[in-house]
Structure 1
Amino acid sequence: IVSMHGRNQNLIAAVAQNSKVFSLTGGEHSPNQLCLKLCDHGMADVKVYVGENLSYPEEKITYGTASEISKLEFPSLSVMMILNEHANDFKYTVHGLNDDLFIRSKVPMTKQEVRSVSISKLMPKVTDNIYDIGAGTGSCSIELALQAQAGRVWAFERNPLALELLEKNKALFAVNNLDIVAGEASEQLVDMPAPDCVFIGGSGGNLCKMLDTIYTKNSDCRVVINAITLETLIEVVEYYKTRSEYDLEIVNVFAARGKKLGAYNLMMAQNPVYIMTALKKGE
């Protein structure tokens, strides 16, 4: 049961993961607009019943596919029953999903082992507003959106190829609570809602400026920064020397993955990553 009346719940994920979903509609979330979103996420063929003016003489129930319903007009205050025969009942109850689940290319991606530790340090809550800065392929954005199903995630990325992958992975995982923001993050952050927590995988040389903007919006914001270079590590350490109200924790994660070579198995080292967590003292 989902209410889209004055709310922004993740109806798309609910339909993708459940064979039966009942939803209240209202405002901008009319039945046809919601069905358009279902179509955009590859669920044009799900069966939809729309009830309008229930219990009144003009009561009417309309049946069709999401594609058919999206072309019709209904009162904003209606109800929907959505049936998905191909629902995936696997619920993403843990973070650190297998890398192979994501659509990938040469665009950098935060790998499973590092992603799992980073999200653990970030401690996202189900209702959090979250920034993912330098989102790349979107592996962290997707996982954060799955963790914060009653919240919202903004993925900031400036690479056109990465933006294409972000859109594809968003559709693949049906995370309608993920917004993709194109362009330079340090400029785009200014007009965004205040975040509860922020993951920074890439800063484009504007790290200190972005942190200042983030803390102006919410001084209690939880921040996790990943870095592979000593220069970024030093920049973060120096920044938090001037912000004595925060505790900075640094973890260096080394991971190696097995690779088959003939009859032997070799361990192939991945790049060591610095995972830096900044929390306001007392939290």
Structure 2
Amino acid sequence: MATATPPVPPGATDTADQPVTVVGIGADGWAGLTGTARAALHAADAVIGGPRQLELLPPEVTADRLPWPSPLRPAVPGLLAEHAGRRLVVLASGDPMFYGIGRALAETVGPGRLRVLPHPSSVSYACARLGWPLEDTEVVSLVGRPLDTLTLALHPGRRLLVLSADAGTPAAVAALLTERGFGPSRLRVLEQLGGPEERQLDGRADSWPHRAGAALNLIAVECAPAPGAPRRSLVPGLPDDAYESDGQLTKRHVRAATIAQLAPVPGELLWDIGGGSGSIAIEWLRAHRSCRAVSVERDPLRAERIARNAAALGVPGLAVVTGPAPAALAELPTPDAVFIGGGLTAPGLLEACWNALPAGGRLVANTVTLESEALLTEWYRRHGGELLRLAVAHAVPVGGFTGWRQAMPVTQWSVVKPAAEQTDTHANTQGEQTP
């Protein structure tokens, strides 16, 4: 005989529908928690957190203590499902919604089932200690991110707060700053912020004197360039010598015009086809930290060079696909913009790119050959857009005088795909549909 589920008593909550409570905790541990946060931990059936965070709880918190497995992010859905129906508290460092576990939890259970009790973040503590206005301070996280990510933020006079991955991060940051021409920068490492063992270490990047200390640290950087350090603007059109190249490089002035036509905005994805040295994808990514790009290059040596250029210029997240287009495009996510810098006459390439674009997507193609120019002229006739020729000349010595040396003119077609021509799926990328 089946047993009926007993009703929920008046005033009680069905645990299956209870929110997941996220408690931010600092280096000051239990003493720094609010009464509300302590009450949530006392009432919990299970507490999930890192080993260091769990050790900060006193014995009177009797809930099961569950350390996060590694890797953490893929384990979140399964661990929450395993403990569904229990009063669950997740411990997080500082503010859970600032580079913390709160984002993964919100994406898993939904914001409506998440109750967040934040603690001051390490960034708030650091600005309080340094006297820096938080709104004027750039934050760069190196937790689970390549060290080269920091390069994009290096500009004279800027103040940075760098979230460290471990005790070795300060020395690694000092070395990177020195390598990138910012050796005179002042570094201050703030350890155990808000806790009884809080301390600061001070020094210059190019003569960093301190050994590795506490794993829980944050690095304050006051950017100061060395004499002669290269200046890397965030505006498109970096100097050509910023790139390692074998000659396959979209030159500076044409590159700036091309990025302007591609018109990157935060969060968008670019396909850079015929990557060469990677300059178009790299400068697309430098437009905003949330921009994404895939560079497709058939030559393995050039593909490796693209990755090196991306790291050196602060965008190591550039995805590089080695293979010929259009075959290499079949499994790529749908782009918001496409740039074709090489291989225009490859059968089906323009069709594949056009079919992959959603309505409102932009396509820009550059060429210096008559054959590809004829192809772009035909596509311009069919789909409109803008067809133009870019000609750049540089002043050079001519004997004892000065004259102009003309670079090869570049024909550029740019177009925004109208809604009426959007294809139903991204699967049709091999040119079955004619333009």
TM-score higher than 0.5: yes
Identity value in percent:
25
Q: How many residues align?
A: 273
Higher relative contact order (CA 8 A, sep 6+): 1
Q: CA deviation at 1:205?
A: 4.0
Closer/same/farther in 2, CA of residues 175 and 202 from structure 1, 3 Å limit: same
Match of 1:11 in 2: 150
| Pick aligned residue for 1:259 from 396, 412, 420 | 396
Q: Which structure 2 segments of 5+ residues have no match? A: 1-137, 420-435
The CA deviation string for residues 110-140 of structure 1, in whole angstroms up to 9 with x for no partner, is: 2223223222222222443222211212333
Indicate the SS of the match to 2:366. Answer: strand
Of 78, 97, 108, which aligns to 2:238? Answer: 97
Distance 1:210 1:39 in 2: 44
- Structure 1 or 2: larger strand share? 1
Paired residue for 1:22? Answer: 161
Structure 1 residue ranges without an equivalent (≥5): none
Report the residue type matching 1:184 in the other structure. Answer: P
| Structure 2 CA distance for partners of 1:37 and 1:52, relative to 1, 3 Å | closer
Cα distance in 2 for partners of 1:217, 1:174 equals 28
Asked whether the 8 Å contact 1:145–1:153 carries over to 2, the reply is: yes
1:259-278 pair list within 5 angstroms: 259-278=396-415
1:150-209 CA deviation, whole Å, 9 max, x = no partner?
312322222244335434433442333433332224333333333222221112643634
Q: Which has the higher mean CA deviation after the structures are superposed, 161-170 or 45-54? A: 45-54
* Cα separation, 1, equivalents of 2:310 and 2:365: 23
Q: Are 2:262 and 1:122 equivalent residues in the alignment?
A: yes
Indicate which of 330, 338, 362 corresponds to 1:198: 338
Show the 5 A alignment for 1:1-283: 1-2=138-139, 4=141, 10-15=149-154, 20-24=159-163, 42=179, 54-56=193-195, 74=215, 79-82=218-221, 84-86=223-225, 90=231, 92-105=233-246, 107-203=247-343, 205-206=345-346, 208-209=348-349, 211-213=351-353, 215-216=355-356, 218-239=358-379, 246-281=383-418
Counterpart of 2:80? none
Distance in 1 between residues matched to 2:221 and 2:272, nearest whole Å:
32
Q: 1:85 to 1:120 in 2, by over 3 A?
A: closer
**Distance apart, 1:279 and its partner CA:** 0.8
Q: Aligned equivalents of 1:208 and 1:261: distance in 2?
A: 45
Contact 2:167 2:212 in 1 (8 A): no
Instruction: Name the SS of the counterpart of 1:191 in structure 2.
Output: coil
Write the distance in 1 (CA, Å) between the matches of 2:298 and 2:356: 23
Q: Give 1:12 shift.
A: 3.0
The whole-number CA distance in structure 2 between the counterparts of 1:181 and 1:172 is 19
Counterpart CA distance in 1 for 2:322 and 2:210 is 31
8 Å Cα contact 2:262/2:337 also seen in 1: yes
Q: Normalising to structure 1: TM-score of the pair?
A: 0.71
Helix, strand or coil at the partner of 1:188: helix
TM-score (norm 2): 0.50
Does the CA-based 8 Å contact 1:225-1:275 persist in structure 2? Answer: yes
| Larger mean Cα displacement after TM superposition, 174-183 or 50-59 | 50-59
Query: Looking at CA atoms only, which structure, 1 or 2, has the larger radius of gyration?
Result: 2
Q: Which moved more, 1:119-128 or 1:61-70?
A: 61-70
CA deviations 1:82-131 (Å, max 9, x no partner) are 455547694514323333443343x3222223223222222222443222
* Alignment check: 8 A CA contact 1:50 1:79 kept: yes
Amino acid at match of 1:95: P
Q: Which amino acid aligns with 1:249?
A: E
Q: CA separation in 1, counterparts of 2:318 and 2:174? A: 15
Q: SS of the residue aligned with 1:114? A: helix
Deviations 1:208-236 (A, max 9, x none): 34652564353322111001223223333
For the Cα contact (< 8 Å) 1:2–1:11, is it kept in 2? no
For 1:264, give the aligned amino acid.
Answer: F
Give the letter for the 2:233 counterpart: Y
Q: CA deviation at 1:249?
A: 1.4
Alignment partners' CA distance in 2, 1:211 and 1:37: 45
Q: Distance in 1 between matches of 2:157 and 2:350?
A: 39
Once superposed, what is the RMSD of the aligned Cα atoms? 4.2
Q: 1:74 to 1:215 in 2, by over 3 A?
A: farther
